[in-house]
Amino acid sequence: MRVGLGYDSHRFSPGRKLILGGVEIAHPLGLAGHSDADAIAHALTDAVLGAAGLGDIGTMFPDSDPRWHGADSLELLKQAYRAVLAAGHKLVQADVTVIAEQPKIGPHVTKMRERLAGAVSVAPGAISVKGKTNEGMGWIGRAEGIAVIAVALLE
């Protein structure tokens, strides 16, 4: 068994879609980033890569490479997970915590779990997604952006 921890954060930006866990969420602001800025998919990608000892998302998909501009982060997760499988590992379970004042994550959790599970070939029950606020503290509390922490267990 191997455990990996992933983290990602993005600030809000006007004129962008908000995509989290592969789900487009109606919100006046999206997240700034080179790809679609799906912080959930990015954190989970780092968690599975870390558990497999394969580096991180920035090494595998550098933002200096124009191929990844506007990329679908679920597709990046799929590609990273193929490398995890090739290294002889398989995802057992993942736990994801989204830290945001807005939007509320709860109404989107079921769809996020389905989309993430599909990207890494597990049942939705193997993926947990939950939202927490920062109780009004700091940049997250001021609703300037979103942070995500993910843990992945591989066998």
- Each of the 155 residues of the chain gets a pLDDT tens digit; together they read 999 999 999 999 999 999 999 999 999 999 999 899 999 999 999 999 999 999 999 999 988 888 888 899 999 999 999 999 999 999 999 999 999 999 999 999 999 999 999 999 999 999 999 999 999 999 999 999 999 999 999 99
- Sign (positive or negative) of CA dihedral 104, 109, 110, 116: positive
* Dihedral over alpha carbons 39, 9, 132, 155 (to 10 degrees): 60
What domains appear along the chain, each with residue ranges and CATH number? 2-154 (3.30.1330.50)
3 state SS of 3: strand
38: tokens are 């799906």
Pairing verdict, β 30-31 and 91-99: unpaired
Token match 């004042």: residue? Answer: 101
pTM of the shown model: 0.95
3 state SS of 66: helix
